[in-house]
Copies of this chain bind each other. A is one copy, B any other.
C-alpha cells in the first residue's frame, strides 16, 4: 500500500482517495501544506469561504522512531493574516496519519446547509456524518463525549466554541497521548475548520502497523540513535527544556531586557520570578504534578509538564513560555495559578493562547480591565467562551480589537500578534516578525537561539549587524525542519552539534530510499519560503507589510532604551536569496 491523499469535499459531502502526485512525493509537513495551498487556493479568496482549503500533513519522518518526529502541519489561507499559513503541533495525529499512510488530508468546499459535521478517518477511507452532540462544547467535553481520552489508536482534531464561531483567534486542537490537547495555534485555522462545518476529525489507526515502512531499517536505526544522542547531549534539548519547560525563558529573557511588559512598555517585568520556569517547577514538585512530559511519543526533550492545583488536580499541560509571558508580563499578572486556569480555558474554547492573551493586554490598554487584573482575565476569557459581543471582539484577535477600540499601540505584524520577545531589544527576532510569510511568528526563525541562548554562535541582540542574515538562515532551516515532522527545538542541537543535521538527512534517506544531501535540505527550506511568499504577493502583500508597528520605532523600551532602527531597505534585504 502506498501513501495517499485523502480529499474531503464539504460542499457535496464526498471523499476521494487519490494517489500522491509525483511532485508532492518528496514533501511532507509544511512543505506539503504550503505547496498544496499555493497550488489549489486562489490567493484572493475569502479565507472562510468555500474556495479556501484546510490541509493537514504529517512530516516526512512522522510515524518513524526518530526522536521528536511527531509534529503535524496544518495549512490554509489564514483568516487572521490573509497570508498563507502553516501551523504545527505535537499530539498523536501526525504519527497516526503516517501509520495510515495518509500523506495529506485536504478539506475543501463548504456545506450548503448551515450545520456541523464530523469526519471519521480510517486507513480504508473517510466518512462525513452530521454532528449534534458535541456542538457548543469545548474541546475537553468533545474528547470525553467521544470516549477518546485513553484511546491511543485514535487521534482527534477538534475545535472549541471559538472555532465554531469562526473567530480569528481560533485554533485547532490535537489530542495528545494523555487525552489532553496540543494546538495548531496560530493564524485562526480553527475558524477555517469551523467555516467548513467540521467540529472534529477522528483518525482511527487501529489495525495498522505500529511503525511506518523503512527502506533501509538498519541505516535508519543507526542515524536515529546518533540523532537522539545529539539531542540528549545538548544542554538545552537534553537538560534545560526538561527541567523547567519552555518557561525556563522567563528569567533569561527578562535578564536581557527583552520580556515585553505592560503591552510592550518595558523589557523588564518586576515580578518575573513569580511566573518563571523555576517557580513553576517548584510548585509542580510541591503539589505532585509532573515536571517532565512529552507532547508525543518518542519525544526525548520532555519540555511539557502537568501543572496541578493545590489539591493536586490537573489544571493544564503544555504550559508554554509564550502563553505565560502573554498573560503574565504583557498583562502584568503574576499569579501562576490564575495563568494556569486561563490556559485551561483557552485550551477548552480553542483559541491561540498568544493571540488571545496579547488581545487581553489590549483590552487593558483600552481600559476594559486594569493591567494586573487576574480575575478580570478569567472573566474576559469566559466572555469569549460565551460569545458575547465583547467576547466576539476579543476572539477576533489583537488587530481587530485594536481597530474596535481605536488603539495605536497594537503589537501585530500582518495582523498577527507579536509574541514574547521585544523586537527592539532582541533585534534578530524583529527581523523574523517583519519578514516571515506567516505574520509575526517567533518560531518561523527563532533568532533568540543565537541572540540570547548563544546557540550556533552569538549575534548581539541590541545591534543590527548580522540580524537579517541570521533570521534568513534560520527561517530557511526552520521551513525545512517544519517539513520533516521534527520539533523545532531540535534546531538547538543542529546549530551546535555537527552530527545532528547529517543524522536527519540519513534518516530521511533510509526512510524513503533516496539520497538527499544537507544542501538539498537547505534548498527545500528556501523553496518553501519562496512558494509561501509568492502566494502572499498574489494575495496583495508587499514589502510595505514587512514592517513593525510604528510605536516600536518611536518609543524606546527600557531598560536598554532601544528602538527599532532598521531602515526599510535593510529589512527588504531579507528576500535577496
Q: Which residues of A contact B (CB under 8 A)?
A: 43-46, 48-49, 51, 79, 165-168, 191, 194-195, 388-390, 392-393, 396, 400, 403-408, 537-542, 544-545, 547, 549-551
B550 touches A540 (CB 8 A): no
11 A-B pairs in the complex with CB atoms less than 8 angstroms apart: A43-B544, A44-B550, A46-B408, A191-B406, A389-B392, A389-B393, A392-B404, A393-B393, A400-B404, A540-B540, A540-B541
A44 and B408 CA atoms in complex are apart in Å by 13
Given known contacts A191-B406, A195-B406, A406-B165, A544 and B550 CB-to-CB distance under 8 angstroms: no
Give the residues in chain B near A542, CB-CB below 8 Å: 537, 540, 542
Bound-state Cα–Cα, A300 to B194, Å: 55
Contacts of A393 in B (CB 8 A): 389, 392-393, 404
Residues of chain B within 8 A of A43, CB atoms compared = 544
CB distance from A42 to the nearest CB of B (A): 8
Q: Dominant SS at the A interface? A: loop
User: Is B406 a contact partner of A166 (Cβ separation < 8 A)?
Assistant: yes
A544/B44 in contact, CB under 8 A: yes
Q: How far is the CB of A167 from chain B (nearest CB, A)?
A: 7
Q: A389-B388, A389-B389 are in contact. Are A48 and B406 (CB under 8 A)?
A: yes
Contact residues in B for A194 (Cβ distance below 8 Å): 406
Shortest Cβ gap from A399 to chain B (Å) = 9
Identify A544's interface contact among B195, B396, B539, CB under 8 A: B539
Asked if B44 and A547 sit within 8 Å, CB to CB, the answer is: yes
Contact of A550 among B51, B168, B537, B539 (CB under 8 A): B51
Copies in the complex: 2
Q: Which of A194, A390, A406: most chain B CB closer than 10 A?
A: A406
Chain B residue numbers with a CB within 8 Å of A191 are: 406
Apart from A44-B550, A191-B406, A542-B542, what 19 extra A-B contacts exist at CB < 8 Å?
A: A43-B544, A46-B549, A48-B406, A48-B407, A49-B550, A165-B406, A166-B406, A167-B406, A194-B406, A389-B389, A389-B390, A389-B393, A393-B393, A393-B404, A396-B403, A404-B404, A539-B544, A540-B542, A540-B545
A79 to B406, CA, bound (A): 9
Contact between A540 and B544, CB atoms less than 8 A apart: yes
> Which residues of B lie under 8 Å from residue A549 when comparing CB positions?
46
Q: Knowing A388-B389, A393-B393, A538-B544, say if A403 contacts B168 (CB, 8 Å).
A: yes
* CB-based closest 8 A-B pairs: A166-B406, A540-B544, A389-B389, A389-B390, A49-B408, A46-B408, A396-B404, A392-B404
Q: How far is the CA of A393 from the CA of B395 in the complex (A)?
A: 12
| Contact partners of A44 in chain B: CB under 8 A | 544, 547, 550
User: Shortest beta-carbon distance, A171 to chain B, in Å?
Assistant: 15
A177 vs chain B, min Cβ distance (A): 32
With most chain B CB atoms within 10 A of its CB, the pick from A388, A404, A407 is: A404
- CA distance in complex: A46, B411 (Å): 12
Please give the distance in Å from A12's CB to the nearest CB on chain B: 15
Is A550 in contact with B45, judged by CB distance below 8 angstroms? yes
CA distance A547 to B194 in the complex (A): 26
Chain B residues positioned under 8 Å from A392 (CB to CB): 389, 393, 404-405
Give A411 Cβ to nearest chain B Cβ, in Å.
Answer: 12
Chain B residues with CB under 8 A of A396: 403-404
Bound Cα distance A49, B393 (Å): 22
Residues of chain B within 8 A of A547, CB atoms compared: 44
Within the assembled complex, what's the spacing in Å between the Cα atoms of A195 and B202?
A: 50
Q: How far does the Cβ of A502 sit from chain B's closest Cβ, in whole Å?
A: 42
Give the docked Cα–Cα distance between A539 and B541 (Å).
10
Q: Taking CB as reference atom, which chain B residue is nearest A47?
A: B408
Which residues of B sit under 8 angstroms from A48, Cβ to Cβ?
Answer: 406-408
How many angstroms from the CA of A566 to the CA of B181 in the assembled complex?
46
Residues on the B chain within 8 Å of A79, using CB: 403, 406
* Bound-state Cα–Cα, A176 to B549, Å: 39
Q: Which residue of B lies closest to A388 (CB)?
A: B389
Q: Verify A403–B400 contact, CB threshold 8 A.
A: yes
Tell me the minimal C-beta distance from A222 to chain B in angstroms: 50
Instruction: Give Cα A346 to B45, complex, Å.
Output: 33
Distance in angstroms between the alpha carbons of A168 and B408 in the assembled complex: 13
Which B-chain residue is minimally distant from A545 (CB atoms)?
A: B540
Q: Could you say which residues of chain B place their CB within 8 Å of the CB of A49?
A: 408, 550-551
Residues of B within 8 A of A545 (CB): 540
Q: Report the bound CA distance from A167 to B49 in whole Å.
A: 27
A46 to B399, CA, bound (A): 12
Query: Considering the chains assembled together, what is the distance between the CA atoms of A405 and B45 in angstroms?
Result: 18
In the bound complex, residues from chain B placing their C-beta under 8 Å from that of A540 are 540-542, 544-545
CB distance from A437 to the nearest CB of B (A): 15
Cβ-closest chain B residue relative to A194? B406
